[in-house]
Structures are given as structure tokens and as C-alpha cells.
Structure 1
Amino acid sequence: MLEGFLVKAIGGFYYVESSSHVIYECRARGVFRKKEVSPVVGDHVEIELDAQGKGTVCTILPRKNSILRPPLANLDLLCIVSSVCDPQPNFFVIDKFLAMSEHKGIEPVLLITKSDLQSPEEIRRIYRHAGFRVFVVNTMEDGDLTEVKELLRGKVCAFTGNTGVGKSSFLNRLAPQLALKTANISQKLGRGRHTTRHVELFRLEELDCYVADTPGFSTMDLARYDVILKEDLQYCFREFAPYLSDCRFTGCSHTVEKGCAVLKALDEGKIEPSRHESYKALYEEAKQIKEWEL
């Protein structure tokens, strides 16, 4: 058996990188289909090699986390990319990514692009107030990405956000050797064309890290994957934490109740209104989930 790190999956083939950074093309054992599990990018796996150097994925080692959309495992960092405009920032989408990250135990950060077209100050203020690290990435000179590079060092990271916000463009600035494809925003539809067709982890040798450029998302995609139950949602908004134990009633939904400490904090300006609006929308979604759907 050889242990390795799964860096790409496409068309039923799995590409596994060994500790010496040799990549082996593999197929998966049929037993995974019977168990209704599949290896995903980011998995630590055990493989067997045949005489021709082709591999078979035999074991998926325990995961510390995984997400379904995109299919990735063992992430340390989720970099949520949002443009200031073209397309306009969708706060609900950003907040759902953030909530999902918190739920999965993945550290989220927000990267803001296209600040040359419009001021990023409002979006930066909202999310710094909520307790997240925020970087305005497109204003940096090519030689001045030190802070972001240190953030990525030694980690497995995914870059995600709505299509057209500049994920691939930023990664190309960060690591030009990747030469990831980019596409312009469709003026008719107001969104970008998908330019990433599969999930793949790219190793950045100088930072000893792996980054994934993932396909674009839509609100519809987000509504279908990685369900957060309404009872758990309050713990996915980190700025609620200081107030949760002070609510008058056990099982408070933090939406309308009298004596709710979260709503009091909202009224006092300690919680951003847009964040609470996203929470309420996600709570209403979660209320509609039927037990059989889980």
C-alpha cells in the first residue's frame, strides 16, 4: 500500500500524489460504489500499484471535514471571493458560504475584488464587524501579496464564490504558473461563464500549500447541498455567540421573540442587519426541510 493525497478527479480517474510528489493515475475499487461513497479531491487515500505503475484506490482515510458542492475534503481554509460590482455582491450567497464553513469546521476568509470599479468599504466593514478576516485583493501590487500568501502557507484551500467574481484571475496573479482559464461577464445575463470544469488541487511549492479553483455557484446550487438544520444555524453566525445564552426562552429562533438577546444586539448595532436578514432567510429554508430529505 502507498499513501497519497488525491489532487484531481475527472471521468472516473483519480490522480493521487505521493509524499515525494509523484502523481499516479488510479481507478477506484468497486466496493466504494456498493457502500455509496466515492473518493473526492482532498482525500488522503491508500493505493495499490500494478506492474505498469497504474493505481487502484483501496482505502479512503478518515476525513476531518468534507463538502458536497464542490466535492472536496480535508479543507483548512475556504476563501470566499466577492466582487464589489459586475456582478454585484450577493450577501445571502456570501453568508451561506460563511455559515457552511462554520458548520463544517473550515476557517473562512473573504476576498474582495474589482475595487477599482467601486469602493469596497461597506462590504469590508460589514464582515470585519462580524468577525471575519477580509482582504481587498485586486488593489495589491503583484509583489505585495505577502499577507494573503502567509494565510495560505501550509494549508489546503478552496476558492469559491459566484461565477464571474474573479477567482481564477486572482489565482493567476497569486501563482501565474497555474494559467487558469478566465472569461468575461456576460452583459446580457449579468454573470460570468463557467471556466472551471472540474475540481483540482494545485500545489504551490513556495508556500507548501494546495489551492482549488472550483466551478462557479448559484443560489440554486447552494440551496440543494450541505444542509444546516435550523437548530444548528445559530452556531454558524459567529457574532451571535456572545448573546445566545442570554435569550429569555430555550429554543429561541432569534427571529421575532421578545426577550431575544440576539435581536437586542441587532437593535444596538452589535450585529449587522444584512447578516441577520441572511440568518432569517436561512432559518426559513431550514424550517422547510423534511426529515426524509436528510
Structure 2
Amino acid sequence: MDTKSGLIIKAMSGFYYVKCGDDLIECRARGLFRKQGQEVLVGDTAKVEMTDGGKGYVVDIGERKNVLVRPPLANIDQLVMVISTCEPLPNLLVIDRLIAIAERKGIDPLLVFTKKDMADSQRYAEIYRHAGFRVAEVSNITGEGIDAVRAQLSGKISAFSGNSGVGKSSLLNCLDKRLAIPTAEISQKLGRGRHTTRHIELFPLPEGGYVADTPGFSSLDLERCEVILKEDLAECFREFADYSDKCKFTGCSHTKEKGCAVLAALERGEIEPSRHASYISMWNDVKDLKEWELK
């Protein structure tokens, strides 16, 4: 039986499209995945068993280094968070929730603030630069900052995510005009954009690597799909790392304890107040949650 190996770059209506060298093979997944309760995802490396007509079946997938539930993707190198400077305004708690999820899964965040031509993005960008993240500020209208983002994508599998109306699809089109991803205007009545992405797909870039356009999400989506227990939360805030082992008491929650080195760093201005406020909010959400409740 003829078999090939490749990367699943698109999933839609029960079909999987596997890039094997120069070939793109339309596949179904064998029933064994359903029997095992395993989902085949975009980003998976796949073994394909060929059938007549140049089509095939996915019969095996490789070991994954990470998985996102929303967006449903595997083996992501970096999560590009597209954030509007205005219309809609940034929601820092949503940003910090997604960063924490990426950090927990070993996916490197890249924050891209859009609409630089409409409002000053510097005050938001500096919060995250101070926290140790890569940040870009761009205008999809003037093209400012686009080359800097493009350079960060080369040779990597990058998931693009962001709330509706932030200019995510427009940014992707600026990065590579061949993509021609549909965009939606901001709804003046609702104050937000309409979802324009209907499926998950990896798009190859001329410089090498792939990007994924993904549907918008809300804070509620994140809470439902990805939960970080309180014991693990501090590790998902990278700026805490230099201080968390210097706290007076073992098991410090970094919320109100005397002798907390993280709170001391916050007082000295070494940790951004908005970042710690997000940590407190997330910690309060899960402080009474037990691991067995997630199963």
C-alpha cells in the first residue's frame, strides 16, 4: 500500500488536506481515530494511505508538542495575538488570559497592535515589552510595521488569533496578498466586527513557514476551553520568575501575603500593575477549583 507523510494544513467538513512535498492530498480519517476518541487537527503531521484518484486516508498522526482547543490547532511555534488599539479598545484581561494559555503550552506569544494610524499604541505596547514579550505596532493602511511582523514568521507555524474587528484578516492580507482572506467592516451598531473565518487553515508563506487564520474568540471562550489551576498560574506570568522563589513563605499566592517578593516588585514598578491585576482576577476565578473537577 502506497503511503506518504506530510502536514495537515486544512480541515473542513470531515476532509483533511495534507501537504506532502509538492502534493496536496484530500483525505478522510480512518475510523480508528473516532474509536480512540482522538481528534485529527490542523498542524498534525500525518501518515497518509493512498487510494485511487490521488486521494487518501489519514492512518496515523505524529506526537504533538502542543494543542490549542480554541483555536483547534496542533504543533504551534508561536501565537500571534492581533490587538486593536481602538475600535475595539484592547481588553487587557483577555490578552493576559491568552498569553497565560500560550505560556502554559510552551507557545511563544507575539503581540501585534493594529490601527497605529488611528490611535497611539505605545502605552499598550510598553506594558508587554516591560513584561518581556515581543511586540509589534502596525498599520494595515500605511504598511508601517508589516515587515517587522513578516520577519518574525519565517520558518515557523504561527497561529493568528484576536477578537473580531481588530484587523486580523487585513493584517494577514498585508503580509501576503495571495491570501485574499475575506474581511468584514466594523458594525457601527454592534461596535464589533462580524466573524469572517469559517474554518482553520494553514497558509504557506513565501519566506517559509505557515500562518493560521482563526475565528475570533471571547474571554468566556477562553475560560471554557482552557483552565489554568492556581498552582500553575504564577508560572504563566514570566515576569514573576525572578521573584517568586524569593517569597518569605513556600506556596505564596502572590496576592496579599506579607513577605511576597512579587508584590514587592510590583510596588517598585518592576511588574506592570495591569498584568498583576489580571493575575489576581484569574487566580480568584480558579482559587477554589480542584484538578479532579476538570475531568
Partner residue, 2:176: 175
Bigger mean CA deviation after superposition, 264-273 or 184-193: 184-193
Using the aligned pairs only, state the percent identity: 54
What secondary structure is seen at the aligned counterpart in 1 of 2:241?
helix
Contact 2:82 2:162 in 1 (8 A): yes
The equivalent residue for 1:129 is 130
Tell me which residue corresponds to 1:225.
225
Taking the TM superposition and a 5 Å limit, the aligned residue runs for 1:262-277 are 262-277=262-277
Instruction: Name the SS for the 1:217 alignment partner.
Output: coil
The AA in structure 1 aligned to 2:221 is: D
How far the C-alpha of 1:38 sits from its partner, in A, is 1.0
Q: Distance in 1 between matches of 2:280 and 2:45?
A: 37
Structure 2 regions of 5+ residues with no counterpart? none
Partner of residue 236, structure 2: 236
Could you say what secondary structure the match of 1:200 adopts? strand
What is the one-letter code of the residue matched to 1:171?
A: L
| Residues 82, 161 of structure 2: 8 Å contact kept | yes
Q: Which residue of 2 aligns with 1:9?
A: 11
Residue 212 of structure 1 aligns with an amino acid whose one-letter code is A
Moved over 3 A (4+): 139-146
Number of residue-to-residue matches in the alignment: 292
Please report how far the alpha carbon of residue 140 of structure 1 lies from its aligned counterpart in structure 2 after TM superposition.
8.3
Aligned to 2:37: 36
> How far off is 1:190 after superposition?
1.6
Partner of 2:104: 103
Q: Does 1:69 align with 2:77?
A: no
* Partner Cα distance (1:50, 1:219) in 2: 43
In the other structure, the counterpart of 2:279 is: 279
CA deviation vs aligned residue, 1:235-275 (integer Å, no higher than 9, x gap): 11010000011111111111111111001101110000100
Partner of 1:80: 81
Mapped partners of 2:214, 2:232: distance in 1: 26
TM-aligned CA distance change 1:17 to 1:135, over 3 Å: same
Q: What is the CA-CA distance between 1:141 and the residue it aligns to?
A: 5.0
C-alpha spacing 1:144/1:231, structure 2 compared with 1 (3 Å)? closer
Q: CA deviation at 1:97?
A: 1.1
* Superposed displacement of residue 51, structure 1: 2.0
Aligned-pair RMSD on alpha carbons? 1.4
TM-score (norm 2): 0.96
| 1:79 aligned counterpart, secondary structure | strand
Corresponding residue SS for 1:109: strand
Q: For residues 144 and 215 of structure 1, do their structure 2 counterparts lie closer, same or farther at Cα, with a shift above 3 Å needed?
A: closer
- Structure 1: runs of 5 or more not aligned: none
The verdict on how the C-alpha distance between 1:143 and 1:258 changes in structure 2, with shifts beyond 3 A counting, is closer
Query: Cα distance, 1:144 vs. partner?
Result: 6.5
2:256 corresponds to which letter in structure 1? V
Between 143-152 and 100-109, report the one with greater CA deviation: 143-152
Q: Deviations over 1:136-156 (max 9, x none)?
A: 121785497332222111000
Output the CA distance in 2 between the equivalents of 1:245 and 1:53. Answer: 57
| Alpha-carbon offset, residue 184 of structure 1 | 1.2
